[in-house]
Amino acid sequence: MSDQADDGPTVPTDERVRFRIVEFTRALRAADVDVPATGSLEAARVLAEIGVVDRTRTRAALRGALITSPSDIRTFDRLFATFWRALIADIEDDHGADSVRPDERPEVLDLPEADPTPSADASEPDAEIDDAGSMLAFGSDSDSEEDPLLDDERETVAGYSRHGESSTVSPRGALESEVDLVDPVSRLSDALARLTDRGYTSNADPTRIDVRRALRESHQTGGVVVSTPTEGPKRTASRLLFIVDVSKSVLDVIERDFLVRTLSCFQEESRSMRTFFFDTSAQEVTDAIDTRTTADAYDTLERLEATWGGGTQIGTALTEIRERHPTAVDRRTAVVVVSDGLETGDTSELEAGMNWLSRRGRIVLWWNPLATTSTYEPTCRGMETALPFVDGLFGFADEADLREIASQLERYDGTQPLGYERTASP
Amino acid sequence: MSDDGFATPGGTERVTGPALSDVTERELRSVFDEMSYVADDDLITTVLLGLRLGKPLLIEGEPGAGKTELAKVLAHGFDTELIRLQCYEGLAAENALYEWNYTKQLLAVQAGDRGVDGDGSVFDEDYLLERPLLRALRSDDDTPQVLLIDEVDRADEEFEALLLELLSDFQLSIPELGTVTASVPPIVVITSNRTRGLSDALKRRCLYVHVEPPSFEKEREILRRKVPELDEATASAVCAVTQELRDHPLLKQPGVAETLDWARALVDLGADGDDQITADRIRSTAGFLLKEIEDIDRIDELADDLTAAARDARDSTAVDTDQKR
């Protein structure tokens, strides 16, 4: 226990985290958020208590400490994304500057006041540390000779946590989260499979009167409509095309583990699915995702030398897909673009690519990891360009978002609006 | 120096209850599960921090969102007493903190048993009537009690000032007796419906939570736990109707409490898996969902949308159920 308290308020946090907290509260105040006078101190306290290992928990904790009005939540969430990126970059930089091998790195950052793990059962792996492991394992040097995911030995992971006692976790074990993705993905796949086509047919469940047919048949009865034939939406088999942005800005706000597990689950559920990763160029990774376990998926991705963490050029990526894989999308294909829309390339190319997807595909959904609150506004130029071609823009950061998308698609009949703004946030 | 490593400015140690300062997230989730309280991750994180740090929780949200229920769940879940202070306009210190038993004091003085000052005066604990806030501080239990200060926005702003000392230091000054300090600080849950803004001084002493209306999935889960006799398809239809209502600009949106009331009413009326929620049934039971006459008057214009939403949700659930089989 530290004796610093004799001098007044003290918070046992790492210097970098402390700096970021002060910077964050200043940014909030500059944006007219009503932050309490002791906001930075309270923020440091809550982070010292729960650690900085999980984005959702950190956001919830800081919201509780810094926000006092629901009208400020929107601004908070916007600025929190920046704060989180900077914080994680700090932590990753700290390890990047470290010359020691990954397995020799210190377990946690400077944590003089670290509490014992809060886990009720000490014999069970600490989920927080597992999360940190999965998060920071990808943040380590990509040119490292020893890939922590392929290393047979148990790998220590680094994370800032007050409860972050040194512990070892299996890199493969870290991939096996307790979060159930099978159920929401299954529901989503079913919803997409049942999704109505843009056309109508008399062979389906009737949902509206077929006026054209009624008029046509009325010719036989002298213009008198004696029956009202009905028509319903076409139901066609499901094909999925995932176009996934793995640029740094996306990977800063979405767990890689969650992303890969989600794709693997979809691959299992779907009859036909193709997956492309892109940052500044596109690469098909369908075979990597189509593996028995998530760990296998990582292994395959490594063998494919799939790249992570570059900039975002969605338009270029779509052009590549269109030219090299023109059959990737057809009228039976539901297209899902996973991206934050922070386009750094030519928006006219993006517009052409989205136009192609919209014209060819059955439905185009855009899953944006930044649109996790109903207050998000798709005002960046990439999103502004893409939005006219998108049938539904959703948030995509965790399992709850998948459930929300599934919920909306299950009720979707092709007429009502879809999207994150219709989400009733809990 | 306290265990959590913080020192308060005045040098007073921040003390948290011995049983709850080290509660884990798993234990808290378990409590919520046992009490059938459906909480999202944000709420769990904030409540967890409130318990660990000994900070009061300020919970704002629409009426019927489950704010008061949270305090009840914490009390029952941790097997401790719930002390509730319902706020209202004109609430004064003597109703919230303590009051002297003037009748008893008068009789004691007239009988010559006690004086009015010095040792043996009538200003001691024998003549003190505890009100909720003082009672919460003077608990002898090892487990902290749950102090619910409900609908604080109904009370006058002056009343908030009374709370400040209690919320920051868990102590109360009684001029005639001195300062009463809690040996085991209570878990404080303050709720507000945001009918007026609260003072900065109050807000900065608390961890803030804003409870939004639940999503369709979350509300269905709440129904599943709270009204288990309602079948899955009807529960989905009920949730779809309330979600649809929340999409309309009503004077008073239905909260979870209204959804539960309506679901129980439908159960009483014999709704089962084969019954559709018809426009007539919605009209006849609209009072469970809508509490403003202007909103109820709009039910006819909304009926088609509501029944369509109910039908879609029911069909969707039926398909899911068939697939599971």
DSSP string covering B268-310, please? HTT--TT----HHHHHHTHHHH--SHHHHHTHHHHHHHHHHHH
Quickly state the pLDDT bin for A142 (edges 50, 70, 90): very low
Residue to test with chain B: of A4, A55, A63, most B Cβ within 10 A: A63
Give the residue on B whose Cα is nearest the Cα of A36. B204
Contacts of A416 in chain B (CB under 8 A): none
**Smallest Cα distance from A276 to chain B, Å:** 30
Report, as an integer, the average pLDDT of A61-66: 92
pLDDT of B57 higher than 90? yes
Report, as an integer, the average pLDDT of A44-50: 87
Query: For the segment B199-234, what is each residue's pLDDT rounded down to a tens digit?
Result: 888 998 999 999 888 888 888 888 988 898 888 888
pLDDT of A266 higher than 90? no
**Smallest Cα distance from A125 to chain B, Å:** 13
Report, as an integer, the average pLDDT of B286-306: 89
Please report the pLDDT score of residue B107 as a whole number: 92
pLDDT of A337 higher than 90? yes
Does A227 touch chain B if contact means CB atoms closer than 8 Å?
no
Q: Tell me how many helices (H) and strands (E) chain B has.
A: 15, 9
Going by DSSP bridges, is the β-strand pair A230-235/A196-201 parallel, antiparallel, or unpaired? Answer: antiparallel
DSSP string across A202-227: TTS---EE-HHHHHHHHGGGTT----
Please list, in sequence order, all residues whose beta carbon lies within 8 angstroms of the beta carbon of residue A292, skipping any fewer than 6 positions away: none
Contacts of B27 in chain A (CB under 8 A): 120
Give the residue on B whose Cα is nearest the Cα of A187. B320
Rg (CA), chain A: 25
User: Which of the two residues, A289 and B111, has the higher pLDDT score?
Assistant: B111
| Beta-carbon count within 10 A of B31 CB | 19
User: Which of the two residues, A80 and A287, has the higher pLDDT score?
Assistant: A80
Contacts of A425 in chain B (CB under 8 A): 212, 215
Question: Residue A46 and residue B4: Cβ atoms within 8 Å?
Answer: no
User: Token digits for B245?
Assistant: 């209502």
User: Token digits for B253?
Assistant: 């949106």
DSSP 8-state assignment for residue A91: H
Could you tell me the CA-to-CA distances from B163 to A33, B146, B292 in Å, in that order?
A: 24, 15, 33
Gap between the Cα atoms of A379 and A386, Å rounded:
11
Question: Residue A411 and residue B316: Cβ atoms within 8 Å?
Answer: yes
Q: Which of A44-48, B259-263, B299-303, B320-324 has the lowest mean pLDDT?
A: B320-324
Quickly state the pLDDT bin for A336 (edges 50, 70, 90): very high
pLDDT averaged over every residue in chain A: 69
User: Token digits for B176?
Assistant: 């005639």
DSSP 8-state assignment for residue A364: E
Residues paired with residue B148 on neighbouring β-strands, in sequence order: B84, B189
Please report the pLDDT score of residue A185 as a whole number: 87
Report, as an integer, the average pLDDT of B29-44: 89
Does A114 touch chain B if contact means CB atoms closer than 8 Å?
no
pLDDT of B128 higher than 80? yes
Contacts of B22 in chain A (CB under 8 A): 118
Going by DSSP bridges, is the β-strand pair A363-368/A392-395 parallel, antiparallel, or unpaired? Answer: parallel
Q: Which of B98, B144, B148 is nearest to B125 (CA)?
A: B98
Gap between the Cα atoms of A351 and A389, Å rounded:
8
| Beta-carbon count within 10 A of B43 CB | 22
pLDDT of A66 higher than 90? yes
Question: Residue A404 and residue B215: Cβ atoms within 8 Å?
Answer: yes
Cα dihedral B4, B5, B10, B11, rounded to 10, equals 110
**Smallest Cα distance from A57 to chain B, Å:** 6
Residue A47 CA to its chain's centroid (Å): 23
DSSP 8-state assignment for residue B82: E
Burial class of residue B323 (count of CB atoms within 10 Å of its CB; 0-12, 13-18, 19+): exposed
Quickly state the pLDDT bin for A180 (edges 50, 70, 90): confident
pLDDT of A417 higher than 80? no
Its pTM surpasses 0.80? no
Residue A108: phi and psi, rounded to 5, are: -135, 165
Q: Which residues 33-72 of A have a C-beta within 8 angstroms of B?
A: 34, 36-39, 42, 45-46, 48-50, 56-57, 59-61, 63-65, 67-70
Question: Residue A400 and residue B40: Cβ atoms within 8 Å?
Answer: yes
pLDDT of B97 higher than 80? yes
Instruction: Name the residue among B4, B45, B212 with its Cβ closest to that of A61.
Output: B45
Instruction: Decide: A253 and A224 in contact? Cβ < 8 Å.
Output: no
**Smallest Cα distance from B229 to chain A, Å:** 23
Give the residue on B whose Cα is nearest the Cα of A188. B320
Instruction: Name the residue among B8, B49, B215 with its Cβ closest to that of A64.
Output: B49
Could you tell me the CA-to-CA distances from B40 to A345, B181, B299 in Å, in that order?
A: 38, 34, 31
Residue B72 CA to its chain's centroid (Å): 7
Contacts of B204 in chain A (CB under 8 A): 36-39, 42, 68
Enumerate the H helices of A55-142 as residue ranges.
Answer: 55-66, 73-96, 127-139
Please report the pLDDT score of residue A118 as a whole number: 37
Residue to test with chain A: of B192, B207, B259, most A Cβ within 10 A: B207
pLDDT of A175 higher than 80? no
Q: Which of B173, B185, B80 is nearest to B136 (CA)?
A: B185
Domain A239-422 class, CATH top level: alpha beta
User: Which of the two residues, A403 and A122, has the higher pLDDT score?
Assistant: A403
Q: Which of A44-53, A302-311, B269-278 has the lowest mean pLDDT?
A: A302-311
Report, as an integer, the average pLDDT of B171-190: 89
Q: Is the Cα torsion angle A305, A308, A313, A317 positive or negative in sign?
A: positive
What is the interface pTM, i.e. ipTM, of the complex?
Answer: 0.76
Q: Which residues 160-199 of B have a C-beta within 8 angstroms of A?
A: 194, 197-198
Question: Residue A36 and residue B216: Cβ atoms within 8 Å?
Answer: no
**Smallest Cα distance from A12 to chain B, Å:** 7
Question: Residue B1 and residue A5: Cβ atoms within 8 Å?
Answer: yes
Instruction: Name the residue among B208, B215, B313 with its Cβ closest to that of A67.
Output: B208
Question: Residue B215 and residue A70: Cβ atoms within 8 Å?
Answer: no
Going by DSSP bridges, is the β-strand pair A168-169/A155-156 parallel, antiparallel, or unpaired? Answer: antiparallel
Query: For the segment A290-320, what is each residue's pLDDT rounded down to a tens digit?
Result: 765 666 666 656 554 445 555 678 888 898 8
Gap between the Cα atoms of B38 and B62, Å rounded:
17
Query: For the segment A195-251, what is each residue's pLDDT rounded down to a tens digit?
Result: 645 555 565 556 667 777 788 778 778 888 777 777 765 555 468 899 998 877 777
User: Token digits for A402?
Assistant: 């998948």
If you count residue pairs, one on A and one on B, with CB atoms under 8 Å apart, how many are there?
A: 134
- Give me the percent of chain B exceeding a pLDDT of 70: 90
Going by DSSP bridges, is the β-strand pair B128-130/B187-192 parallel, antiparallel, or unpaired? Answer: unpaired
Please report the pLDDT score of residue A376 as a whole number: 75
pLDDT of A153 higher than 80? no
Please report the pLDDT score of residue A205 as a whole number: 57
Q: Is the Cα torsion angle A104, A110, A116, A121 positive or negative in sign?
A: negative
HEC assignment per residue over A378-407? CCCHHHHHHHHHCCEEEECCCHHHHHHHHH
Give the residue on B whose Cα is nearest the Cα of A43. B207
Please report the pLDDT score of residue A374 as a whole number: 63
Quickly state the pLDDT bin for A12 (edges 50, 70, 90): very low
Please report the pLDDT score of residue A95 as a whole number: 56
Gap between the Cα atoms of A136 and A130, Å rounded:
10
Gap between the Cα atoms of A283 and A286, Å rounded:
9
Residues paired with residue A368 on neighbouring β-strands, in sequence order: A395
Does B319 touch chain A if contact means CB atoms closer than 8 Å?
yes
Gap between the Cα atoms of B87 and B202, Å rounded:
15
Please report the pLDDT score of residue B140 as a whole number: 78
Burial class of residue A344 (count of CB atoms within 10 Å of its CB; 0-12, 13-18, 19+): middle
Give the 3-state secondary structure of residue B252. coil
Instruction: Name the residue among B24, B43, B203 with its Cβ closest to that of A119.
Output: B24
Q: Which helix (H) or strand (E) holds A195?
A: none
User: Which of the two residues, A299 and B13, has the higher pLDDT score?
Assistant: A299
Query: A55-66 and A73-96 are packed helices; what angle lies between their axes, rounded to 10 degrees?
Result: 130
pLDDT of B8 higher than 60? no
Q: Which residues 279-338 of A have a C-beta within 8 angstroms of B?
A: none
Gap between the Cα atoms of B58 and B69, Å rounded:
14
Report, as an integer, the average pLDDT of B48-57: 92
Contacts of A34 in chain B (CB under 8 A): 200
DSSP 8-state assignment for residue A108: B
The listed range with the strongest mean pLDDT (A365-379, A406-420, B189-203) is B189-203
Residue with tokens 């440091």: A44
Quickly state the pLDDT bin for A414 (edges 50, 70, 90): low
Does B7 touch chain A if contact means CB atoms closer than 8 Å?
yes
Question: Residue A64 and residue B26: Cβ atoms within 8 Å?
Answer: no
pLDDT of B72 higher than 70? yes
pLDDT of A372 higher than 90? no
Q: Which of B195, B181, B12 is nearest to B88 (CA)?
A: B195
Residue with tokens 């120096």: B1
Residues paired with residue A286 on neighbouring β-strands, in sequence order: none
Query: A127-139 and A73-96 are packed helices; what angle lies between their axes, rounded to 10 degrees?
Result: 70
Please list, in sequence order, all residues whose beta carbon lies within 8 angstroms of the beta carbon of residue A124, skipping any fewer than 6 positions away: none
Question: Residue A5 and residue B6: Cβ atoms within 8 Å?
Answer: yes
DSSP 8-state assignment for residue B5: S
Please report the pLDDT score of residue B238 as a whole number: 92
pLDDT of A159 higher than 60? no
DSSP 8-state assignment for residue B14: P
Going by DSSP bridges, is the β-strand pair A333-338/A239-245 parallel, antiparallel, or unpaired? Answer: parallel
Contacts of A190 in chain B (CB under 8 A): 319-320, 323
Please report the pLDDT score of residue A293 as a whole number: 62
Please report the pLDDT score of residue A201 as a whole number: 58
User: Which of the two residues, A173 and B169, has the higher pLDDT score?
Assistant: B169
Gap between the Cα atoms of B263 and B237, Å rounded:
10
Instruction: Decide: A45 and A65 in contact? Cβ < 8 Å.
Output: yes
Gap between the Cα atoms of A164 and A256, Å rounded:
21
